[in-house]
Chain A
């Protein structure tokens, strides 16, 4: 086929496909293969030993792996739902503001400028049991006398991580939903008001269906990027105390780089990839459905 025969969309998409194939698809094929070998970084020759499904069998019978997996799903469920709700609330608050919208929008985007690693560090600092802002404030207000071991006790550490995660990602929802609110034509809302809808009805039946695609775009972008929680956990607790906040991703990193067991780590990594794919496909379908609902061309 000559270059002339390539259709316009093919040509336009070619660069994207090439880059992604080179950096993502091919390396992943390689890692998929190595998940069937006992590959260790320290012993390169093990790359060519084929052991079938042994890696997968090992991790599937490993309780630590399942705990990490369950914890990851729990964290994502809590975080994504709360981020969505808070983001919607924030967007509505900012949209209603009559003055200073520009400043408000900038402040709203503030957490997005923070690298996840920075978020982790900053909340580690704030939740520090000895010198952290949270404990200092609680003690100064007289709410508690002793230092609450935020990052040292398993459940509290999980809560602290969730808070950090929610703080850092709510603004993605807020900014995209706000973009939707601002792009929304004003006539339907005005018409609904004239027709005697209550504010709740106007929101539920006019505004919400319109901004839903934007909300799902935000959801999908987030679910593309769920693994950024790795950075936060890595620096806040590094999976501790005693593995109580170990997520799938920290487990993969530990297995691969600390234990140098690349083969097993790659097998685990495929579970984390699968998890992300499930989340993304789910929201992608929701997004497509929401788009058809408002009659956008798909």
Chain B
């Protein structure tokens, strides 16, 4: 009896500790974001107030109105930046996923000479820091006259995303048992059909998550974009954020508002694709 009671107590303490730990972790993760949203809705006076005003006294959408009201009226060409970001990120993600699926499948399903070396070689191209890559790209793009174009950035981002897209997709195909596709082929599928009917649906969640990674990388990239873009022709949101910093002053509220605009699409997208990430990627196939 005594042992029972103490075990029960122990379990309860563990549950509470788990909840508290979880809460604190989530708080730490969310706080910066919440603070940004809050600051974007407050008048600048309140942000700069001393002593700090913790509870917003006035809430308004002025910062957003100012931002969208166009150049010259305290706004920046945020619609153009947004469109550029969207076009560049979506296009480069789609292309990178297509290339990555082919490559990942090759690594997961075929044996060939120099496989490890090939894989490592692909990864090494990704290790090149954006700023280091921007030096020669800047030079080459200037020669080809594709600086400040969508095409230039899309090309760069596809190259940026392909290596780890291959990496992730390879990993997820690897977890789909080979036997399944073989069984399908014995049942009369071609390899192509076996891929689309059996392996692709099972690896789907993995491919979706690779897509999220690729999209977010393009959406958020700064080091290359800051050198390869010049004007509203191709400037993306991360570069546009710098429009709010002057030499010595920063428009905190405006920046916060733009930050919110940048995060919302990423948030929506992640939330949509998230349900494909639901776990036990292959457990059904292995157990069942």
Residues of A within 8 A of B (CB): 7-10, 12-13, 15-17, 19-20, 22-28, 30-31, 34, 89-90, 93-94, 96-97, 102, 104-118, 121-123, 125-126, 130-131, 133, 136, 139-140, 167, 171, 175, 178-179, 181-183, 185-186, 217, 220-221, 223-228, 230-231, 234-235, 249, 252-253, 256-257, 262, 265-266, 269-270, 272-273, 276-277, 279-281, 284, 288, 296-298
Contact = CB atoms under 8 A, between A and B. Distances in A.
Interface in B88-126: 98-100, 102-103, 105-107, 110, 112, 116, 118, 120, 122-126
B112 A121 contact: no
Contacts of B129: 226-227, 230, 249, 252, 269, 272-273, 276
12 contacts: A23-B159, A97-B18, A109-B274, A131-B252, A136-B51, A167-B32, A223-B127, A230-B131, A231-B222, A249-B223, A273-B129, A296-B174
A179 B156 CA distance: 29
A113 B39 CA distance: 19
B280 to A, nearest CB: 6
A260 to B, nearest CB: 11
A90 B133 CA distance: 34
Contact of B132 (A19, A23, A227, A298): A227
Interface in B238-284: 238, 241-242, 252, 255-256, 259, 262-263, 266-267, 270-271, 274-275, 277-283
Nearest to A172: B213
B227 A16 contact: no
Chain A, interface SS category: helix
Given A27-B133, A27-B137, A140-B54, A113 B216 contact: yes
B130 A230 contact: yes
Given A97-B18, A123-B32, A269-B131, 9 more contacts: A15-B98, A23-B156, A31-B139, A110-B30, A131-B47, A139-B52, A175-B209, A185-B286, A266-B136
A289 to B, nearest CB: 12
A253 B131 contact: yes
B120 A183 contact: no
B180 interface: no
Contacts of B26: 104, 107-108
Contacts of A23: 137, 155-156, 158-159
B219 interface: yes
- Counting chain A CB atoms within 10 Å of each CB, which of B36, B51, B125, B135 scores highest? B135
Given A7-B112, A113-B266, A126-B32, A265 B135 contact: yes
A30 B139 contact: yes
A3 B152 CA distance: 29
B128 A28 contact: yes
A19 to B, nearest CB: 5
Contacts of B278: 102, 182
Given A20-B122, A23-B155, A24-B128, A115 B238 contact: yes
B48 interface: yes
A219 to B, nearest CB: 12
Chain B, interface SS category: helix
Contacts of A226: 129
B241 A118 contact: yes
B81 interface: no
A227 B252 contact: no
B181 interface: no
B21 A13 contact: no
Contacts of A15: 98-99, 102-103
A269 B155 CA distance: 21
Interface in B154-177: 155-156, 158-159, 162-164, 166-168, 171, 174-175
A22 B151 CA distance: 14
Contacts of B28: 167
- Counting chain B CB atoms within 10 Å of each CB, which of A15, A27, A221 scores highest? A27
A282 to B, nearest CB: 11
Contacts of A90: 25
Contact of A121 (B132, B159, B241, B274): B241
Contacts of B174: 296-297
A252 B125 CA distance: 19
- Counting chain B CB atoms within 10 Å of each CB, which of A16, A175, A228, A297 scores highest? A16
A235 B130 CA distance: 16
Contact of A131 (B48, B221, B270, B283): B48
A13 B103 contact: yes
Given A96-B18, A121-B259, A227-B130, A102 B275 contact: yes
Contacts of A97: 18, 22
Contacts of A256: 135
Contact of B283 (A110, A136, A183, A284): A183
Contact of B175 (A112, A183, A284): A183
Nearest to A140: B52
B33 interface: yes
Contact of A224 (B110, B123, B287): B123
A226 to B, nearest CB: 7
Contact of A217 (B102, B167, B220, B227): B167
Contacts of A111: 29
Contacts of A106: 270-271, 274
